[in-house]
Amino acid sequence: VNVDNSREQIALERHSPPRLIIRNSQSRILRTGNATVRRVSVFGLGYVGLATALCLANKGHLVTGIDSDERRVRQLDQGIAPFFEPKIESYLKRAIDEEYFRVTNDSSSNAESDLAYVCVGTPTKHGGGIDLSFIESAAEDIGISLRKREAYQLIVIKSTVTPGTASNVVRPILERESGKTCPTGFGLCSNPEFLREGHAIQDTEVPDRIIIGSADMNAATKLERFYSEYYGAGLAPVIMTRHENAELIKYANNAFLATKVSFINTIANIAERIPGADVTTVAKAIGLDKRIAPEFLRAGIGFGGSCLPKDLSALMAFGEEVGYNTRLLAEVQAVNREQISKPITYLKHKLNTLKGKKIAILGLAFKPETDDLREAPSISIINDLVKEEAQVTVYDPRAEMIAKSIFGSQIAYATSARESLRAANGAVLVTEWEEFTHLTPQDFLELMEDPIVFDGRRLLEPGRMREAKLQFDAIGLGRESFPVAKY
Ligand SMILES: NC(=O)c1ccc[n+]([C@@H]2O[C@H](COP(=O)([O-])OP(=O)(O)OC[C@H]3O[C@@H](n4cnc5c(N)ncnc54)[C@H](O)[C@@H]3O)[C@@H](O)[C@H]2O)c1
C-alpha cells in the first residue's frame, strides 16, 4: 500500500495481501481498500473544482480545497454548498465528516500534495478573449508553495484555457515562482473538464472520455495511471496528446454544441413559418441519425450558462488572434442572440405595448437542475421587459436568491408557478424545469388575465394548449394558419 506523507489519522495496517485501512482522528475505520491514496489540492471550488474535489474524496483520497473567496471557504467548511447542484451537498457533508476533505484559503497547504488541480474561473474579458488573471494567480500560489516541497508534484489544469496557455503562461509562472524546472521539479498536464452543470457529480464519476495534454510523457502517464486506478474497469477512453490539442479540444467541443443549438433553432425558425410543422418532430428524426445524435437538438430561446457563450467568444477571439475569421461561429452567436430576443418580440406583437402589462416568467436558471444565472437568457429577457416598463413576476424553483441579488425590487418573486401566473397578461416559459410540465391549460386560463403563453423551451404539449383555446405559441411550432406573425 502506497500512502505518501501519511497523516496522523491514517493508519496503515499490513495484511496479506496488503490492505489499506483509513481511520479518522477518533480511530474509527472510515474506509478500507487496496488503492493508492493521494494527497490532492484543488484550486478553485466552483462547479468544476468542488465536483472534482468531492469525487476524489469520495474515493478515499485526502483532498484540500483551496479557494481565494473567504466566504466560500467558511460556507464549505460548515458543509454548506455555495450553489445548488444535485448530490453536492450530501457528498460535501460526508467528505467533511469523514475528514477526507478540508477547505482553506491558505495556498501554502498545497506543499503537502502529490497532485494539484487548477479549477479557477476563466471569465470573458473585453473583446471576447479570456481573462487569465485567476489562472495566473493560482499558478503563482502553486509555484510559491512548491519552493518548500522537495518531492515532485503533478499540476493539472482543468480550467478552460485557450491553446498555448499551459506552455506559455502557466509553466513559466510555475518555474519562476517555484525555482524548479518542468518536467523534473514538477509535472504539468492539461485535463479539460466537460461536466454539465446539473450533472456535475455524475459526469465527474462517469465521464465520456478523458483528455490529457502534456509536453511530457512521464507526467501524462502518471495522470493516466491515476485515472486508471480511480475509474478501474469503468475507465473512459483516454486521449493523450499535446497541451495545445487538449486546450483546443475543449473549445471545439463547446463550439460544436453551440453550433448544434443554433442549427436546430434555425430549423425552428423555418418550421414556425410552415402551418402544422413542429421542430420537435424534425429534431427527433434527425437525432436518430447516428452521425447527428439526439443531444443538443432541443430548439429554444438560446443557450446560456457559464460555458457555451464564453467559450464561443473565446474561440472567436483566439481565431482572430491567429489570423482566422471564425465566421461560422459569428453566425452561431448571432442566431443565439436573436432567439433570446424572441419572447419580447412575441409579447409586443400580442399585447401591442408592454408598458404596465403583467408578465410571468417561468424559470430563470440557464437550464434545469441548477441555480446558475450566468449568461442565462432570462436576464436579458427580464432586463428588456423592465425597460419596456412591464410588471414582471418570476418563479424559479432554485434561482430566486441569485435573481434577487441581480434584480432586487425591480421585479416580483412568486413562490410557485401558479402564483406567478395570477392576473398576468402574458407568460413565457424560459427554463424547462420538470415541475412546469404539470401546468395544465386550465391553470393558464383560470389564473391569467390574458392567457397568452409562449413556450420558449418546448416543454408544454402544444395540442392540449391550443385545444383549450389558449393563445399559445412555442419555438419551432408552425402557426395554425397563414399569414405568419412577423416576430
Ligand atoms: N461550470 C461548468 O459547467 C464548467 C464545465 C467545464 C469547464 N468549466 C471551466 O472550468 C473552470 C472553472 O469553472 P467553474 O464554473 O467551476 O468556476 P466558478 O466561477 O464557479 O468557480 C471558480 C472558483 O475559483 C475561485 N478562485 C479564483 N481565483 C482563485 C485562486 N487564485 N485561487 C483559488 N481559488 C480561486 C473562485 O473564488 C471560485 O470559487 C472555468 O475555466 C470554466 O470555463 C466549467
In this prediction, residue 1 carries a pLDDT of 32
In this prediction, residue 35 carries a pLDDT of 64
In this prediction, residue 22 carries a pLDDT of 60
Q: Give the integer Cα–Cα distance in Å for 76 and 60.
A: 19
Helices (H), 352-440: 377-387, 400-407, 417-421
CA angle 231, 237, 243 (to 5 degrees): 105
Q: What distance in angstroms lies between residue 324's CA and the mean position of ligand 1's atoms?
A: 28
State the catalytic residues: 307
- Segment 133-139 long-range contacts (CB within 8 Å, at least 24 positions apart): 134/44, 134/159, 135/159, 135/161, 135/165, 135/169, 135/170, 136/169, 136/173, 137/68, 138/43, 138/44, 138/107, 139/169, 139/170, 139/173, 139/174, 139/177
Span 422-447, pLDDT tens digits: 999 999 999 999 999 999 999 999 99
In this prediction, residue 256 carries a pLDDT of 98
In this prediction, residue 4 carries a pLDDT of 42
In this prediction, residue 181 carries a pLDDT of 97
400-407 and 377-387 helices, crossing angle to 10°? 40
In this prediction, residue 345 carries a pLDDT of 96
Contact status, residue 327 vs residue 460, Cβ threshold 8 Å = no
List, for the chain, all residue ranges whose pLDDT scores fall below the cut of 70: 1-35, 480-487
Residues with C-beta less than 6 Å from any ligand 1 atom: 43-49, 66-69, 72, 119-122, 134, 137-138, 141, 159-160, 193, 195, 197, 306-307
Residue for grid cell 473567504? 70
pTM value is 0.92
Contact status, residue 431 vs residue 363, Cβ threshold 8 Å = yes
Q: Which atom of ligand 1 is nearest to the CA of 120?
A: 24
